[in-house]
Amino acid sequence: MKENNVSRRDFVKTLGVVGVGSMVGVGQALAQSNAPSATTAPTPTKPVKIPTRPFGRMGVPVAILGPGGDFDIEANQIILKQAMDWGVTYWDTSGGSNAGRSERGIGMFLEKNPQTRREVFLSTKYDGGGMTQGLNQSLERLKTDYVDLYFLHGINNTSMLNDDLKAWVEKAKADKKIRFFGFATHANMENCLQESAKLGWIDGIMLKYDFHLMHTDAMKSAVDAAIKAGIGLIAMKTQGKGQLGTETEADLKLGGHFIQRGFTQQQAKLKAVWENPQITTICSQMPNTTILSANIAAALDKTSLTAADHAALREYAEATQSRHCAGCTQFCETAPGHQVPVGDVMRALMYHRSYGNPELARTVFRQLPETVRRGLAGFDYTAAERACPHGLPIGQLMREAGELFA
Ligand code: SF4
């Protein structure tokens, strides 16, 4: 990984643009970074940038942190400006995010700052309609001639990755509209990685990946297979607290542990993922400068998690697994009598309760078939609950989602 030397004076100077609300997180990160003291630090010559890592078989350097596009980017251009200043230059969005406003917000920034386009590694996602039409529409909104990475959005199996799609990808690359191609997956991720690793033409995958999921044998093996196939990996949903959305003793205990160490538990969750060098970058929702600066502080901080930190995360994962959906829909959605896309409903709940984004939650929920939306409370989830390896109260959660999004 490319390293940065962070001086206290550089940090404090740059902090001025980030805001007072971030001082605790950034200051703590600096204190952990073995940086020279203010009295020995040289006069700053350039702003601090977060590290990069090589992406997939192409080895393109990509910043280890990027903002997800599910916020009002048109009205919050300052976040992109600050992200640029700190080298947070992996930007992700999708055609469907905020009904196209997310792409338009990035386009607004790139149009005003055309010199930044080549510094940004930009990904967006296909969200329905014809592939070519969808891509052209994204390029128009983004005010660019190409995207670095184009994804299929939210697949849970690899049936769409057929020869027709491969031919489309080759043409889009030849036309220089996309540099790389892949998919994003929130469900059945391990299987999607394993299957796509056999294809030879998938360049990148954005997957749900966090401290709960990253240590299972199935996930480790899937990540190994993808890396061996030269696929670049982007982690998302790295900090979520799960579908029940309630603070528990376990949350308080984990928070207390990391405060003693000088981090928040959210920063520690990012650091846990970065500790796996197979993951190039983390796509994180950072809808305000406080979260942006706290995440940047975590990215710049060089302190490794200790055995005690890992034990605290493991203990927390075990204590909370019954409220955290692992996306293993191959269990609940293949149970006898299954009729509900449980994984999608869980995702809507997570956006609402864990990420505080009710608008995105409703968007995901509205994409479900009407019969499912209206009938959520009436289905029998006994077999699905029996099949769930994490013991989630699926019936209760489906009923709660039905009421919440009614
Ligand atoms: S509800 Fe259970 S079985 Fe279904 S995806 Fe979530 S954790 Fe896996």
Question: Is 264's pLDDT higher than 70?
Answer: yes
Same structural domain for residues 287 and 341?
no
User: Do 226 and 78 fall within a single domain?
Assistant: yes
Would you state the pLDDT for residue 72? 87
pLDDT of residue 23: 32
pLDDT of residue 46: 59
Last residue of a domain, one of 313, 346, 379: 313
Q: Rounded to the nearest whole angstrom, what is the distance from the C-alpha of residue 58 to the centroid of ligand 1?
A: 34
> Given the CA of residue 387, which atom of ligand 1 is nearest to it?
3
Average pLDDT of 354-383? 89
Query: What domain range includes position 381?
Result: 325-404
Tell me: the pLDDT tens digits for 12-53?
333 333 333 333 344 444 433 333 333 333 344 556 899 999
Is 236 a residue whose pLDDT tops 60?
yes
Residue 263 is predicted with a pLDDT of: 87
User: Do 155 and 270 share a domain, yes or no?
Assistant: yes
pLDDT of residue 385: 95
pLDDT tens figures, 318-347? 888 887 899 999 999 999 888 899 999 999
**What percent of the chain has pLDDT above 70?**
87
Atom of ligand 1 nearest to the CA of 397: 1
Contact yes or no for 244/353 (Cβ under 8 A): yes
Distance of CA 176 to the CA centre of its chain: 26
Residues 205 and 94 in one domain: yes
Phi-psi region of 183 (alpha: psi -120 to 50; beta: other; left: phi over 0): beta
**What is the overall mean pLDDT for the chain?**
86
Three-class HEC string of 63-124: ECEEECCCCCCCCCHHHHHHHHHCCCCEEECCCCHHHHHHHHHHHHHHHHCHHHHHHCEEEE
Considering only CA atoms, which of 290, 292, 352 is closest in space to residue 282? 292
CATH of the domain at 80: 3.20.20.100
Instruction: Please indicate, yes or no, whether residues 391 and 268 belong to a single structural domain of this protein.
Output: no
- Does the structure show a pLDDT above 60 at 7? no
Task: Assign 308 to helix, strand or coil.
Answer: helix
For residues 286 and 348, state if they share a domain: no
Please report whether residue 360 resides in a domain: yes
The pLDDT value recorded for residue 70 is 83
* Residue to mutate (ligand 1; options 321, 332, 354; most atoms within 8 A of CB): 332
Protein residues with CB under 6 Å of any ligand 1 atom: 325-329, 331-332, 342-343, 346, 388, 390, 392, 394
Whether the per-residue pLDDT at 272 is higher than 50: the answer is yes
